[in-house]
Structure 1
Amino acid sequence: MRFLPVFLDLQAGPVLVVGAGDLVRAKLRLLAAAGARIRWFATDGNHEVSGLDAADAARIEHAEGDPLTADLRGVIAVLCAGAGDIGPAMSVRAKAAGLPVNVMDDLVHSTFIFPAIVDRGDVVVAVGTGGASPVVARRVRERIEAMLPARIGDLASFIGRRRKSMHGRIPEMQLRRRFWERVVDGPIGALVLAGRSNEAEQALVSIADPSAFAGATASGEAEGRVTLVGAGPGDPDLLTIKALRALQDADVVFYDELVSPEILDRARRDASRVPVGRRVGKPGIGQDAINKLLIAAAKSGQRVVRLKGGDAFVFGRGGEEVEALREAGIAYSIVPGITAGLGAAAQFEVPLTFRHEALRITFLTAHKASDAETVDWSTLTDEKMTVVVYMGMTAAVSVRAGLLAAGRSPQTPAGVFARVTWPDAQAAVGTLNELPDLVGRIDGGPAILVIGDVVAHSAPWRHQNLNQMISKLLEAAE
């Protein structure tokens, strides 16, 4: 992030604008609509601007003379649009005076840029691409425009007018935040968004005990809870809406090693983030210690998110954590996530079931060879069963040995799918007999193994066969 989004107080002083043509007039309309005082040097001498009402037009002072010698005292920012060679020169003057400056379409001479803006009164959303692609910023703005309620600015104003009086009744900051979250997400917020502010006002005034409304216990402390959230296999766009909401509400997030930074970035900015996971072969703090951390955080009144790669209930020890929370009397909820097996199936087009070919699926885990040795492979010999092995890279030799000894054909299609849904995802496909070699073709995990005829329907299998066919044709042509 090269440009930090900030909001400029346009009541603090005039904005000095230099330029001519349609480009500068578009910026003038934007600034005037935002209530700015404007001092405009029209470099072509034409100060006419259409589309402004009388109030907005009155905010524009028509400046004369050379902008390069203009008095910059009191000016809060400098904008050049359609200014030609004057733009870079004005940039030098503005920087020397310590003023933010924008020279349109010139990042070298700009210290700030204009974002795409969604304006809902007191709610303003700015979308930027660091100047790289205004078209992309506009497309994002259009989507946000479609999502945001028309009266969201009215809701912000409604709360803003009542914050001080309500905060006197709720001295504890954490409870205050929860109080307003319940207002925004509940019936009162819905009334404001429906244009029924008077009814919303009556409902707010009728709250006799704001602390209880916010979820405080009898002792006055906030009531904590734990939400187990499945983070999915890696792609942050695969998070559910419910998972995003939990991350935005969290006071503290305890996360596994395999949770990507992009997913952690979806958590509330001021939430504490505590790593509690481990990778294969590396020590972790242990499940008992994790359970104690979750319970202690919830008992202190915090909203806790336990963030796990994939799904909490598929080899994620979510069941153990739920039992510990239940025994401790901690309120909890569970948000499912897309498990890695399904992520691989979608990304690499591996149909885990296929009519007449694969009627059953077995999911199992094999961190190491000793795990594979404890599996009863005799139950996995059905040719119409797809076997999905989690964390099986280091146990590939034992997995192969177990399935072959149980009677699965060495020519059974098999695949290794690594870092599924991540930008650097990889796949290697072949036969069960080649499984350890397939693992060797992967640049590192996490990875899952899929064994069964369905692998022959996957995109990597098709591509591999096509490449082999092309190679044979080329050899024959030679």
Structure 2
Amino acid sequence: MRFLPVFLDIKTGPVVLIGAGELLRAKLRVLAAAGARIRVHATDNNHDLSGVGADDAGRITFVNGDPLTADLTGVIAIVCAGAGDIGVAMSARARSLGLPVNVMDDLDHSSFIFPAIVDRGDVVVAVGTGGASPVVARRVREKIEALLPARIGDLAEFIGGFRKSIHAAIAEFPLRRRFWERVIDGPIGALVLAGRKAEAEAALKAVADPTAFALADKPAGQVALVGAGPGDPDLLTIKALRALQDADVVFYDELVSTEILDRIRRDTARIPVGRRVGKSGIGQDAINKLMIEAAQSGQRVVRLKGGDPFVFGRGGEEVEALRAAGVAYSIVPGITAGLGAAADFEVPLTYRHEALRITFLTAHKARDAETVDWSTLTDTRMTVVVYMGMTAAPAVREGLLAAGRSPETPVGVFARVTRPDAQGAIGPLADLPELVKRLDGGPAILIIGDVVRHAGAFRHQSPRQIISELLEAAQ
């Protein structure tokens, strides 16, 4: 993120606008609609105010003279639109004075940029792409426009009018948040959004005890076991996103990506509890205890787990602990890493007449692989998906070969699936340990079976980095 999104208080001083033509007039309309006082240096001497409202026109002053020598005392920002070389020179002057400056379509000479704006009064949504693609920003704005109620700004203004009195009545922040959630999500908020503000004000003023109001419908603490998927935040379900936004505390695994953690509400407590290879965690019993204690204190808890909670995620153990403690819980499934790898690298886990069965297993360490009955996995029409199998790759190979699986069986090793830095290595089962060494670390999924021949690497140039060894059997 190059540009930090901030909101400038345009009531604190004038904005200087420099330029010509329709570019200047477009920025003039935006600034005027925002309520700014504007000093305009029109380099084409065009003082046309068409498209600007009568009330807004009173805040606009056209100034003669060279903007490079103009008095900038009290000015809060400078905008150049269609200003040519003057824009570059004005940028240098603004920077020397410590003033924010925007030179339209010139990131190198701008210290701030204009976002695409959704304006709902007190609710303003700014969408930016760092100046890279205003068209993308406008498309995002259009989608947000369609989602937001027309009177959402009225609701924000309504709440602002009562904020101080409620703050004085309810000292605890979590309880105040519950109070406003109940207002926004209940009949009072519905009245405001319906345009019946006077009725909403009367209803809120009738609340004699704000604390009791907040606690009246306070739900008991609960836990949501949420699958974070294999890493791509776009693969989170809507239900998972809702749980992350509602949570008071999130206990998350180490393998959950930063991009997914960014979807958690900002004031939510985040506590890492997972473990990785070579690093011991706090232990499952301790995790269970933390979840139960948080829920019993009335908090909304999310246990955020990579992939799916019920696929090698110990979700079953956690459910048993929550049941025994009498804690309410819900389960939000996620895309398991095996399915993420299959989609990312175009490996169909089943294929008509070729692969009729799938086996998922975990081989975190070599001794895990040694406990597997490999004789049940020799059917050529079975796809074997191995989780956490990088360390145990030699034992996986030896187990399958000893059981009779062909050394030419196609194998794919797919690391960090669905993430931008995903990698894959494809080759025969005999070379499995070597394939693992070609990748830049895990976590990784092993897919073993004839279906690997259908992977994108064998048919066209994959968008992912695939280190491919063409199999003799695939020729």
Q: TM-score, normalised by structure 2?
A: 0.89
1:305-358 CA-to-partner distances (Å, cap 9, x unmatched) read: 221111111111112222223333333222111100110111112221222322
Query: Would the aligned equivalents of 2:394 and 2:433 in 1 still touch at CA under 8 Å?
Result: yes
Query: Would the aligned equivalents of 1:358 and 1:453 in 2 still touch at CA under 8 Å?
Result: yes
Question: Which residue in the other structure is 1:329 paired with?
Answer: 326
Structure 2 Cα separation of the partners of residues 91 and 466 of structure 1? 51
Cα RMSD for the two superposed structures: 2.9
Query: Would the aligned equivalents of 1:344 and 1:421 in 2 still touch at CA under 8 Å?
Result: yes
**Unpaired stretches in structure 2, ≥5 consecutive residues:** 461-465
Structure 2 Cα separation of the partners of residues 316 and 209 of structure 1? 44
Structure 2 SS opposite 1:449: strand
Question: Which residue in the other structure is 2:123 paired with?
Answer: 123
1:146-177 CA-to-partner distances (Å, cap 9, x unmatched) read: 33333322332332233334444433210111
Question: Which residue in the other structure is 2:31 paired with?
Answer: 31
AA partner of residue 456 (structure 1): R
Question: Which residue in the other structure is 2:463 paired with?
Answer: none
Q: 1:136 aligned to 2:136?
A: yes
Structure 1 Cα separation of the partners of residues 254 and 168 of structure 2? 42
Change in Cα spacing, 1:158 to 1:446, as seen in structure 2 (3 Å) is same
* Aligned-pair CA distance for 1:206: 6.5
* Aligned-pair CA distance for 1:238: 0.7
Query: Would the aligned equivalents of 1:175 and 1:222 in 2 still touch at CA under 8 Å?
Result: no
Q: 1:298 aligned to 2:295?
A: yes
1:234-271 CA-to-partner distances (Å, cap 9, x unmatched) read: 11111111211222222332221111111111112232
Choose the corresponding residue for 2:382, options 371, 380, 385: 385
Query: Would the aligned equivalents of 2:374 and 2:399 in 1 still touch at CA under 8 Å?
Result: yes
Question: Which residue in the other structure is 1:162 paired with?
Answer: 162
AA partner of residue 55 (structure 1): D
Equivalent residue pairs, number? 469
Change in Cα spacing, 1:366 to 1:50, as seen in structure 2 (3 Å) is same
Percent of residue pairs identical: 78
Question: Which residue in the other structure is 1:111 paired with?
Answer: 111
* Aligned-pair CA distance for 1:135: 2.6
Q: TM-score, normalised by structure 1?
A: 0.88
Question: Which residue in the other structure is 1:476 paired with?
Answer: none
AA partner of residue 151 (structure 1): R
Change in Cα spacing, 1:12 to 1:388, as seen in structure 2 (3 Å) is same
The aligned runs of 1:61-140 (5 Å cut-off) are 61-140=61-140
Query: Would the aligned equivalents of 1:427 and 1:460 in 2 still touch at CA under 8 Å?
Result: no
Question: Which residue in the other structure is 2:179 paired with?
Answer: 179
Stretch of structure 1 that moved more, 244-253 or 117-126: 244-253
Change in Cα spacing, 1:224 to 1:86, as seen in structure 2 (3 Å) is same
Change in Cα spacing, 1:190 to 1:399, as seen in structure 2 (3 Å) is farther
Question: Which residue in the other structure is 2:361 paired with?
Answer: 364
The aligned runs of 1:218-367 (5 Å cut-off) are 223-367=220-364
Change in Cα spacing, 1:59 to 1:391, as seen in structure 2 (3 Å) is same
Query: Would the aligned equivalents of 1:429 and 1:461 in 2 still touch at CA under 8 Å?
Result: no
Stretch of structure 1 that moved more, 415-424 or 222-231: 222-231
Question: Which residue in the other structure is 1:47 paired with?
Answer: 47
Structure 2 SS opposite 1:68: coil
Query: Would the aligned equivalents of 1:175 and 1:216 in 2 still touch at CA under 8 Å?
Result: no
**Unpaired stretches in structure 1, ≥5 consecutive residues:** 474-478
Structure 2 Cα separation of the partners of residues 283 and 417 of structure 1? 24
Query: Would the aligned equivalents of 2:427 and 2:470 in 1 still touch at CA under 8 Å?
Result: no
Structure 2 SS opposite 1:67: coil
AA partner of residue 43 (structure 2): T
* Aligned-pair CA distance for 1:202: 6.3
Question: Which residue in the other structure is 2:146 paired with?
Answer: 146
Change in Cα spacing, 1:314 to 1:205, as seen in structure 2 (3 Å) is farther
Change in Cα spacing, 1:429 to 1:24, as seen in structure 2 (3 Å) is same
* Aligned-pair CA distance for 1:11: 1.9
* Aligned-pair CA distance for 1:26: 0.6
Structure 2 Cα separation of the partners of residues 91 and 438 of structure 1? 54
Query: Would the aligned equivalents of 1:233 and 1:310 in 2 still touch at CA under 8 Å?
Result: yes
* Aligned-pair CA distance for 1:382: 3.2
Query: Would the aligned equivalents of 1:381 and 1:408 in 2 still touch at CA under 8 Å?
Result: yes
Change in Cα spacing, 1:88 to 1:434, as seen in structure 2 (3 Å) is closer
Query: Would the aligned equivalents of 2:424 and 2:467 in 1 still touch at CA under 8 Å?
Result: no
Structure 2 Cα separation of the partners of residues 104 and 178 of structure 1? 43
AA partner of residue 387 (structure 2): Y
AA partner of residue 88 (structure 1): V
The aligned runs of 1:425-440 (5 Å cut-off) are 425-440=422-437
